[in-house]
Chain A
Amino acid sequence: MKRFNVWAIPFVILALATMASPSQALAQTGNVTGRILDVSTQAPLESVQVSIAGQGIGGLTNTDGRFIISGVPVGTVTVRAQLLGYVTQNQQVTVSSGGAAAADFQLEVGALELEGVVVTALGISREERGIGYSVQGVDGAELLETRDTNIINNLAGKVAGLTVIPAAVLGGTTKMVLRGVSSISGNNEPLIVVDGIPMDNSRRETATSGGTRGATVRNRSGIDYGNMAQDIDPSNIESVTVLRGANAAALYGSRASNGVVEITTKSGRGTAGTVVSASTNVVFETPLRLVRYQNAFGGGATDGNYNWVDGRGAGVNDGVDESWGPALNAGLSFPQWWSDGISQPWLASPMNVREYFQTGHNVTTNVAIAHSSERANVRFSALRMDATGMPPQQGANRTQLAINAGVEVTPKLTIDGSVQYTESAGHNRPGVGNGSYSAIHIFNWFQRQVDGKRMQSASDLWDPNGGSLTPNWNHNYHDNVYWLQNFRSNDDSRNRITGQVTGNYQLNDWVTARVRMGTDWFEQLTKEVYPFYSQDTPEGGFVESSAFRQETNIEALITANRQLSSDFSLNVNGGANMRRNEFDLKEAGSRKLNVPDIYNVSNSASPPLLNNIVQYKEVNSLYGLVTLGFREFAFLDVTARNDWSSTLPEENRSYFYPSFSGSLVFTDAFDMASDFLSFGKIRGSWAKVGNDANPYQLTSVYSETDKFGNIPGFTTSNTIPNAGLRPEETRSWEIGTDLRFWFDRASLDLTYYNATTKDQILAVDVSGSSGYTRQVLNAGEVRNKGIEALLTLDILREQQNGIAWDITLNFGKNDSEVLALAEGLESIVIGRAGGIRGGVEARPGQPYGIFYGPDWQRNGSGNILVGDNGLPLRGDSKVLGDYQPDWIGGLRSSVTYGAFTFSAQVDTRKGGQIFCGSCRLGYRTGVLYESANSTATAWDPDGTTGRGMTVFPGVTASGATNQVAVAPRKLATRLDDVDTEWLFDNNYTKLREVAIGFDLPQQYLNKLPVSTARFTIVGRNLWLWTSVPHIDPESAAIEGSPSEANLAGIEYEQFPTARTFGFNVAVTH
C-alpha cells in the first residue's frame, strides 16, 4: 500500500457526511403554494427555484411543477420564480398566519439569457452566478467564419489576459500564455481539454540524445512542424471556456496550473429532426509586412568593383555576400552571376524578396449531419482543407472525420461518445530562423542587385549525378533560395485519433455516476532531405523520424445534488482518474550518401544515424468538489485533489492540494437590484496546485555517443539527477466582481489575481568543473499578479429598429517577478537567439524574461561615448528590458442590420521590448534600408564602400560632440555588438478580424432546398500599426531547443506573417 495523503481523508469524509445531512424544517408562520407551467406548452416545469424575496427562504418545484414554501412571514411578500433559460418572474401575495397563499406562474422562455451556464472543470456545467473564480466563454460561432488553420490563432484578442504568439508559417507553432509565465523552465501553456479529454498540444519532439546532428548536416532544424492543437476543427466547436489560472482549474490537476482551454464540440442533441449543414471557407494570404530594404548599393565588401567568376571569390568581391558594394542604378556594369562573364548593367532589384512570396490559399470545406430522436442523437462531420503557403512549393492538407453520438439506453442510463480521426500532411515547410535552410536567412544576405526571377529560372539547372551546382549569386555561403525550396525538401504527415465514451447512470433522482474513458493517439512522420551540392551538405543526407504519442484517461465521477432545505443546496462530486502517457520516437538518417537522390539508410556512406526514445508516465488521482449554495445567492466551493505521479520518488509521489472559492450575488442577497444595477456578484478564491516532473529525472544514466566505426562509446550524462525531487507548488488567490447595468445592457467582469509558483522543478546550470552542466532541483519562485477586465455593451438590441450593436472590450495586465532562484544562482538563461550578445534571462527581483546584455558606454547624462576612432564604445551588460507586455487588450464589435452583420476585432499590446534580430543582421549585411540611408556627411574619401562616411551621434570622453566620421560598414560591425541598438518597445495594434455577413432572406430561401444560407466576406490580420521597424512584432516565436521553450521576445528571420482575406459560405438544410 502506497502512501495515501491523510489530509485527503477529511475531505472525503466531509463529502460523504454532507450528503447525509438531513433537511431542516424552519419556523412556521404561513405557506405559499403554487404551480409553475411553461407559458407556451403549458407543461409543468420542475426544478424551478421559488423564493421569497428578501427573506432568504424558498424551494423547488417537483415534476408536476408544484411547490410549497413554508415559514413565510405574515404580510405581503414577493414570490420569485427562476429557472435557467426562462425569464424570471415576480408576484406579490399576501400571507396570513397559518394560511396558504397561492402563487401560480407561467414562465416564458428567456430570449435574453444572461445568467449563462458555463462548463467548468471536469465538464461540470454550472451557472455562472455560483462560480467563485474567473471564467470566460467564447462562442464557437466567433471562431468559425474568420477561421484560421490554427484554432489558437483565433483566440487572440478574444480572451482577457491571453497572450498569443502566432506562427507566421502555414502550419507553424502558435503559443499561448494566460496570466503570465509562471514556470521558469517548464511548460507555461494552458491545458486544452476537448469534451473532457486532455488534448496534446506539444510540438514535434526532437531527439534529446543520440547525436543526430552530424558534422556535415548542420542547421537541420528550423522546420516548424506546428503545435498539435491545429487538429481541432473550429466548425465542430460549440463553445470554448477559458478557465484562467490555478483557481478555476484546480480540479484538473497539475497540468492545469496555467489555466485550461475547455472546448465542447457540437453534438446532435437538441436538433429538430435531421439538419445538414455545410460551409466552405476560401481565403488568400499575402505577407503583412516585409523588411524594408535599401536599393542604392549592390554586393561587395570593400571596393567599388565587382566581377562574378565562380561565386567563391575567384572574381572581384564575388565570394562576399554583403551589400556594401558599388552604387546601383549609377551607370555601372559588371559581369554578374547570370551573364557568363559579360558586363551587364548594375541595377537594383527592389522586388527580389517580395516576388519570392506567392499568394497562399486555403480552401476548407465542412459538412455536418445532425439528427436527434427522442432517445438518441448523432452528429457526423467531415472536413477537408487544402492549403498552399506563401513560400513556393509549400502545401498542407487535412482530412477530418468526426462522429458524436448519444443514446438514452434506459431512462437512467445514457451513453455518449465521440471519435475524431484526423489525417494531416505538410510538404516543404520552409526553414525559419537562422540557418542555411531558411529563405529568410538568405534574404538577410540577398544582395540588392540579385534578380529573383533569374534565380527562380536557374533553380532547375541542377544535375546531382553530373556534379553540377545550381547557378547562384554566391557559392561561398548560400544555396539558390528557389532550389532550396524545391529540392531540399521535407514532408510530414500525422494520423490522429481522439475519442471518448461516457456513461452516465442516474442512481437515484439526486445521485449520478459517470464513467469516462478517452484517448488521444497520434503518430507523426517527418522526413527532411539534403541533396548533393548544397552549401551545407555537399555529400547529401537526410533524417526521417516517427513519433508516436498517446494519452489515455479513465475517469469515474459520482455527483450528488441535493436541495438540503429551502435555503441550502448541496452538490458533491467525487472522482478518480487514471492517466497514462506514452511516447515513442524513432529516427533514422544519414550524414553522407553514396548515390545522390536516394534517401534511404542503405545508401548511407557514413554510419547511419539511428536513435530511439521511449517514455512512460502514469498519474493517478482522487478528487472531490463540494458546492454549498445558500438561497441561490451565496455559494461556497471546496475542492480537493490528490495525485500520485510516477515521475516523483516514492516518498514524494503522493501530493494533495485543495482550493476554496465563494461567490455572493449581493443584488439578490440584499435585494438591491435596481434599474441601474441589475445584477451584482462578488467572488473570491484561493487555490493550491501541485505539479510533477518529466519522466526519468531521478537517476543518472550514460548516453551513447557516435560509434567510432563499430566501436561503441558511452558518456556520463551532463545532468546531476535529484532522487529527492518534490512536486512543484502554485498558490494563487483571486477576487473579482461581475456587475450588470441597465437591464443587463452593460456588464463588467473584473478580476485581480496573485499567483506564486515555487519549488519549481528546474535543471539549473552548475559549474562545468563539477563534471556536470546542470542539476535538477526544486528551486525558484515566480509571482504573477494582475487584473483582467471584460466589458460587454449591448448598445442596441435587435428589437429596437431592427439594428443590433454590441461591443466587447477585454483587458489584461500582468506583472511578473522572479522572487528567487536556486541558492547562489545569479540568473537562469532562458535562451539566446538572433545574434543577441546577452540573453533572455530570469533574475531575482526582475520580471521574468528580461533582456540582459551589453549597452553602450554612456556619460552621466546618458549620451553614448565614442572612442578616438569615431566608433561608439561597448559597455557592460545590464538589464535592458523585458519581453512581457505591460498590458494587452482587445475590442470586438458587431452590428446587425436586417440580413447584414458586420463584425470587427482590433487588439493591442503595450509595453515590453522586442529584440529585432533581422534588423541587426540586415544592417550588418548592408541590405537594410537604414544601412544606406544613415546620416552621410561626406563622400567616403577612399571610395571603398560607395557609401558616404558617417558620424555617429555621440560624445567623446571629454564631453565634446563626436566629429570623427567612420565608414558605415565599420560602424555596422560595431552596432552589431550592442544589444541596446536592436531592442524596441513592443507596442502594436492589429486589425485582427473583419467579417461582413449576409443572410439570405426567407423569400429566397423558400425557393431553395436550404433553410439558412449565409455568405461572409472575411479578413484576418488586415492591418498593423506599430513602432517596431521592419517586422511584425507579434511573430517573435523563436524555434528554440526544447530547453528554450520559454524563449520569447526575440525576432530572428521569421517568416512574414500573413494578411488573409476571403469568403465563407454556409448553408443548412
Chain B
Amino acid sequence: MSRQNQRTMLKTSDTSGGNKMKTTRTTYRSLAAGVLIALGLGVSACTEDFTAINTNPNAPTDVGVQYLLPAGIVNSVNALLGTGFDRGTASVWVQHYARLQYGGIDRYEIDGSFSDGLWSGLYTGALVDFDGMVVKATATGNANQAAVGRVMRAWMFHNMVDMWGDIPYSQALDGLAAGNITPTYDDASTVYTGLLAELTSASTQIVPTGSLFPDVFRGTIGNPDLIYNGDMEKWRLFANSLRLRMAMRIQNASDVSAAIAAGVFQSTGDEATMRWLGAPPNENPMAPAFISRPGDFRISKTMVDNLIAYDDPRLGIYADAALETGLFAGMPNGMNDSHGIEFEQVSRVGDWFLQSTTPTSIMSYAETSLLQAEAAVRGFAGGDAKSLYEAGIRASMETVGVSSANITAYLAGTKVAFAADQAGQLEQIGMQLWFALYDQGPEAWASYRRTGVPNLIAGPDNLNNNLIPVRLPYPQSEQSVNGANLSAANSAQGLGSDPFNVRLFWDIN
C-alpha cells in the first residue's frame, strides 16, 4: 500500500466551520446508525430459509421396505459370505482353503482389529436395515414383509452368535431410535432361544399364498426379493430350515422335530440362494477377488487329500489341477511365509466357484437333508436316515454338476456307504456336511465345531498352541466405545487373555 493511500485513510482533519460541521456530523451519524441497523435487520431476517438450505437434497429421510430389502440382502450376503470373513477366514480355518501368501490368518495371527470391520459391517450394513424393515412393516401391518425381515435378521444374528458367543441382541440397533449407543451383551444361549422363537413366529406369521410386494414393484424393475422373488411359501420353508439348523446346533430334540414338522426344504429348488447377475458390482464376490489376487489362496491339502481318499467326483470341481504338474495337490494350512511352495505346484480353487455368476448359497437343501439324517440317527425325529443322507450327498453333487452315474458310484464307495453303527453314521454325516459346505465358510466352521468332524490338525507354523480357533476375538473398537459391556461379556464367558479357544455354549462334543 502506498504511503499516499495510507494518509488518505488516516485523514482526520477538518476545515469546515463549527455549526455546519455539527449539522453534518449529526446527519451522517444518523445515516451511519441507520445503515448499521438496516444491515443488522437484513442479516438476521435473512435466516428464514436456513432450514431449507440445510435440508439435504441428495438423499431421502425415509424410504419404503421395498428399498431396504434388496440392499439388506446384498449387504448381508457380502458381509457373511463374501471374501472377508467367509473365504478369507472361516474357509481357511475349516481347511477348505489355505493361504499361499500372507498366511497370517492361516496361522491364526489375527487380533481384535480383525473383527472391527466385520462386527460393525454386520450390524450397520444390513441388520439395521432388516430391523428397520420389521419396524416399518409391523407399523403398516404387512405380515409377510415383517416376517421376511425377521428371518433375515435371525439368519444374521445366529451367524454372529456362532462367531463371537455373547453379542448385543435385545438392546442392539437402537442407536437412533432409543439413543442407546452402548448396548449390553446378551447370553449366547438366550439369543439362540430368542431367535428360535422369532423364526417360529415369523414362519407362522407368513401367509404362503400372499404377496410380499404389490405388483407395481415387480413389473418394471424386478422384484426386490432377490432370494425368492416373493414366493412366501419358500420363505416359510427357509425359516423352518434355519430353525432346524439352530436346533441341531444346540441338540434340542423337540425344536428339531418341531422345525421338521413345520416344513423344511424339500428340494434344491427351495434353497436360499443369492443368484448374481454376473457383472460388477452384482457378481459373485469370489470372482474379482481371484482375478486380481490369484496368488493368495489355494484349496487346502486337507480338502484335496480327503476328496482323494473318498474317491470323490467333486475333486475336479472343487479344485483345478496344479498348472505345473497337472496333478491335484492342496496347499498345506498354517505354513510360515517361507514355506517354499511355488504358486503353480498347488491347485487353485475350482473354476466353478470363481465365475462371476456362480450363485452363493445362503442355506442348501443338502445341508437340511444331512441334518435330518443326523436327527433321525439321534432319534430327534423320524425319517429314514440312510435315504436322507444319500439325498443330501446327491443334492450337493448335483449342485456343482456331478453326473448321476458318478453320484451312484460314489454312494456305493466303502467310505461313503451308510455305516451300520451310530458312531460311524454320525462320522459319515459330519464328513459329508464338511464336503457339502465347501464355499460356505461360516456354516462349515460352525458345523465342524459342533461335530468335530473331520479331525482337523492346525498347521505347523500356527500361533495358537496347535488348536483350531473356536471363536472370533471381540472387536478392538468395542473396548474403546462399549468397554464396560464388553468386560461384562468377557467375564461372563470366562474369556481371559485367550481370544480363540473358549468354546461356545453349543460346542460340547
Contacts and interface: CB of A to CB of B under 8 A. Distances in A.
Interface string B246-277: 00000000000000000000000000000001
Interface string A486-529: 00000000000000000000011111010000000000000000
B125 A592 contact: no
A695 interface: yes
Contact of A302 (B69, B172, B339): B339
Interface in B93-124: 119-124
B292 A216 contact: yes
A696 interface: yes
Nearest to A693: B54
A653 B47 contact: yes
A815 interface: no
Interface stretch (A308-316, A347-355, A447-455, A1048-1056): A308-316
A706 B282 CA distance: 8
A767 B281 contact: no
Interface of B: 1-7, 9-15, 24-25, 28-29, 31-33, 35-36, 39-40, 42-48, 50-51, 53-63, 67-72, 74-75, 119-129, 131-132, 167-168, 172-176, 180-183, 220-224, 226, 277, 279-283, 285, 288, 291-295, 323-324, 336-340, 342-344, 475, 477-483
A612 B282 CA distance: 21
Given A270-B4, A556-B35, A606-B280, A716 B337 contact: no
A85 B3 contact: yes
Contacts of B181: 720, 766-767, 770, 772, 775
Given A706-B282, A708-B74, A47 B12 contact: yes
Contacts of B478: 767, 769
Given A16-B33, A695-B54, A766-B481, A773 B10 contact: no
Contacts of B126: 715
Contacts of B54: 616-617, 646-647, 695-696, 698
Contacts of B129: 715-716
Interface size class of A (residues with CB under 8 A): 35 or more
Contacts of A25: none
Interface in A77-102: 83-85
Contacts of A510: 12, 14
Contact of B279 (A63, A606, A621): A606
Given A47-B7, A556-B35, A617-B53, A765 B481 contact: yes
A949 interface: no
Nearest to A535: B292
A46, A64, A313, A710 — which one has the most chain B CB atoms within 10 A of its CB? A313
B13 A60 contact: yes
B285 A769 contact: no
A618 B342 contact: no
Interface of A: 1-4, 12, 15-16, 19-20, 46-47, 60-64, 83-85, 109, 117, 119, 125, 209, 211, 214-218, 238, 264, 269-270, 301-303, 312-314, 316-317, 319-320, 476-477, 507-511, 513, 535-536, 538, 556, 558, 560-563, 569, 574-578, 591-592, 605-607, 612-618, 620-622, 644-647, 650, 653-654, 695-696, 698-706, 708-718, 720, 765-773, 775, 824-827, 944-945, 967, 969-970, 973
A4 B122 CA distance: 46
A25 to B, nearest CB: 14
B73 to A, nearest CB: 8
A696 B25 CA distance: 47
B67 A712 contact: yes
A15 B4 CA distance: 28
A646 B55 CA distance: 10
Given A63-B15, A270-B4, A620 B67 contact: no
Nearest to A569: B12
Contact of A768 (B31, B72, B120): B120
A843 B28 CA distance: 56
A841 to B, nearest CB: 9
B481 to A, nearest CB: 5
Contacts of A621: 43
A705 B67 CA distance: 9
Contact of B36 (A558, A645, A706): A558
A871 to B, nearest CB: 10
B123 A769 contact: yes
Contacts of A269: 1-2, 5
A645 B6 CA distance: 35
Contacts of B120: 768, 773
A578 B342 contact: no
A771 B175 CA distance: 6
Given A768-B122, A770-B123, 12 more contacts: A15-B36, A60-B12, A62-B13, A84-B6, A302-B338, A477-B295, A576-B39, A622-B43, A720-B175, A768-B475, A770-B173, A967-B338
A710 B224 CA distance: 10
Contacts of A653: 47, 50
B47 A302 contact: no
Nearest to B1: A125
Given A19-B29, A536-B292, A47 B11 contact: yes
